[in-house]
């Protein structure tokens, strides 16, 4: 069923060179003429899904079936032109892969692209494809969108079927995508949600004070004009603190629960294969493997507190506005010690959507010293289309 892939130009190191996965788009669909790439966690029939780890690749056979989401896009006319690099088994937020190298961030030379959907973000930001699929378990679409200056959505958990993807932690895994252009972004959304993207706007904006405090002052300041524009567009806003206990606390329970679930998903394979991982990734699994059940039980209670608090805060259709990332893309090759602080602050921001299963869209609205930073909108479950509409209108507003 597969056809030979046309030659791919890839000056960014975004694409996997060890797979020829390629699917031409069906003719006449709404996405005709558009090209896309898919993170190498999405199955394409007849090809091995590599997952960013050579030992995963070596111990798995070719996929029987193409992932639901890829098939949907191809049936709608888009051409899948290649698989893109990912952090190992999607564990990572910076996009540095110790085995395959780091895709270039075309917007900020010398800085990471963000991950784990690193190659997809790089390929879209560099204009190699019109859009690209990623996945977001703990921030893996939102963060590279912010670092590479793209629109990126983490959808409502469960809205896009996970069939045919390499899972990290299924209660948290979502499929998202990146585009430069809001119209392309919306077209893809209409296909994947099998729904029209409305023209509406949320009725109420909640500016997350504690989330802006988590960001560096430079990032918070750079995002301010876009926040003001959003307030004006929506017409009703208030400023609130999301977490009564602090966002770092909020992220801790997700680290525990997502980590445990990721360990449960991978542990048998890890024991069988003794795979090579970068130390940081092995450390994630190890930490999760030694988490005791009491801590898991306590974290589940804390998770429910996050869910309840967010339900209360957004009751009646409120959309929360927050920085996508506390900082622009960090430099390439930082030590593990140097990364620790920014990683902790990143997950303190990304955990809200992950924990609540809510959709969050990142919009490239500003720069800090020439480096993109995204502004995020987090809505109620099922409000994905509304967020896409808001992103498009804000993007247009700021481009005027």
For position 335 contacting its own copies by CB under 8 A, the verdict is yes
End-to-end Cα, the chain, rounded Å = 46
Which residue number, 117 or 278, has a Cβ lying nearer to its own copies? 278
Using the minimum distance from each CB to its own copies, give the nearer residue, 22 or 277.
277
Site string for its own copies, 84-113 (x = CB under 8 A): ------------x-xx--------------
Min separation Cβ 16 and its own copies, Å: 18
DSSP 47: S
**22 contacts 6 by C-beta, under 8 angstroms:** yes
Residue 310 CB, nearest distance to its own copies (Å)?
33
Could you confirm whether 39 is annotated as catalytic?
Answer: yes
393 assigned to active site: no
Q: How far apart are CA 155 and CA 42, in angstroms?
A: 17
Nearer to its own copies by Cβ, of 282 and 307: the residue is 282
53/388 Cα distance (integer angstroms): 33
Neighbours of 80 (CB within 10 A): 26
Other beta carbons within 10 Å of 330 = 20
> From CA 272, how far away is CA 54, in angstroms rounded?
15
For its own copies, give the closer residue by CB, 97 or 105.
Answer: 97
Q: How far is the CB of 32 from its own copies (least distance, A)?
A: 42
295 touches its own copies (CB under 8 A): no
Kindly tell me which of 194 and 335 has the beta carbon lying closer to its own copies: 335
Nearer to its own copies, 187 or 339 (CB): 339
Using CB under 8 A as the binding rule, whether residue 58 contacts its own copies is answered as: no
- Cα separation of 254 and 33, whole Å? 40
Distances (CA, A) of 335 to 255, 280, 330, 338, 340: 21, 10, 11, 5, 9
Query: 167: closest CA among 79, 273, 39, 45?
Result: 39
The least distance separating its own copies from the CB of residue 249, rounded to whole angstroms, comes to: 21
Three-state SS at 211: helix
Per-residue tokens: 210: 């504690």
Q: Which residues contact 235 (CB under 8 A, 6 or more apart)?
A: none
Name the maximum alpha-carbon separation found in the chain.
Answer: 57
Q: Active site includes 140?
A: yes
Q: Which of the ranges 7-15, 44-52, 199-207, 276-284 carries the binding residues for its own copies, by CB under 8 A?
A: 276-284
Please give the structure tokens belonging to residue 243: 């977490």
Least distance from its own copies to the Cβ atom of residue 370, Å: 27
Residue keyed to tokens 């502004």: 375
Minimum gap (Å) between residue 291 Cβ and its own copies = 12
From the candidates 72, 107, 116, 376, which is the catalytic residue?
116
Among 282, 307, 332, 368, binds its own copies (CB under 8 A): 282
Instruction: Point out which residues pair with 81 in neighbouring strands.
Output: none
Q: Counting contacts by CB under 8 A, is residue 185 touching its own copies? A: no
Q: Which span sits near its own copies by CB under 8 A: 148-156, 164-172, 269-277, 355-363?
A: 269-277
Write down the catalytic residue from 120, 122, 140, 362: 140
The reply on whether position 277 binds its own copies by CB under 8 A is yes
CA–CA gap between residue 249 and residue 150 (Å, rounded): 29
Q: Rounded to the nearest whole angstrom, what is the least distance from the CB of residue 286 to its own copies in the complex?
A: 4
Query: Which of 25, 50 has the CB closer to its own copies?
Result: 50
Cβ-proximal residues to 303 (8 Å cutoff; 6+ apart), any chain? 253, 254, 257, 355
Does the protein bind its own copies through residue 190 (CB under 8 A)?
no
Active site residues: 39, 116, 140
Binding site for its own copies (CB under 8 A): 55, 96, 98-99, 270-272, 274-280, 282-283, 285-287, 335-337
């Amino acid at each position: 069923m597969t056809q030979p892939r046309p030659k791919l130009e890839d000056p960014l190191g975004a694409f996997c060179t060890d797979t020829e996965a390629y699917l031409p788009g069906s003719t006449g669909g709404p996405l005709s003429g558009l090209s896309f790439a898919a993170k190498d966690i999405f199955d394409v029939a007849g090809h091995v899904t590599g997952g960013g780890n050579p030992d995963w690749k070596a111990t798995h056979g070719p996929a029987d079936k193409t992932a639901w989401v890829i098939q949907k896009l191809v049936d709608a006319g888009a051409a899948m032109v290649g698989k893109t690099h990912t952090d190992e088994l999607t564990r990572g937020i910076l996009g540095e892969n110790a085995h395959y190298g780091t895709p270039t961030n075309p917007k900020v030379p010398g800085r990471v692209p963000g991950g784990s959907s690193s190659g997809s973000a790089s390929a879209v930001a560099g204009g190699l494809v019109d859009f690209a699929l990623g996945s977001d378990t703990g921030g893996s679409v939102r963060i590279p969108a912010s670092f590479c200056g793209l629109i990126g959505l983490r959808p409502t958990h469960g809205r896009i079927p996970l069939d045919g993807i390499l899972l990290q932690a299924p209660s948290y895994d979502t499929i998202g995508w990146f585009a430069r252009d809001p119209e392309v972004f919306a077209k893809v959304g209409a296909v994947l949600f099998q729904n029209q993207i409305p023209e509406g706007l949320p009725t109420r904006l909640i500016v997350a004070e504690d989330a802006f405090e988590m960001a560096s002052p430079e990032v918070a300041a750079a995002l301010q004009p876009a926040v003001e524009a959003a307030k004006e567009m929506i017409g009703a806003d208030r400023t609130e603190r999301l977490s009564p206990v602090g966002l770092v606390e909020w992220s801790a329970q997700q680290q525990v629960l997502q980590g445990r679930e990721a360990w449960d998903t991978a542990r048998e394979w890890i024991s069988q294969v003794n795979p090579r991982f970068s130390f940081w990734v092995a450390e994630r699994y190890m930490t999760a493997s030694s988490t005791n059940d009491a801590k898991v039980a306590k974290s589940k209670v804390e998770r429910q507190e996050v869910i309840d608090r967010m339900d209360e805060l957004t009751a009646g259709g409120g959309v929360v506005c927050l920085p996508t990332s506390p900082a622009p893309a960090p430099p390439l090759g930082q030590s593990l010690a140097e990364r620790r602080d920014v990683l902790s602050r990143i997950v303190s921001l990304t955990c809200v959507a992950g924990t609540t299963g809510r959709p969050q869209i990142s919009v490239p609205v500003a720069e800090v010293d020439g480096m993109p930073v995204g502004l995020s909108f987090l809505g109620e479950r099922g409000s994905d289309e509304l967020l896409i509409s808001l992103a498009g209108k804000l993007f247009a507003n700021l481009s005027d």
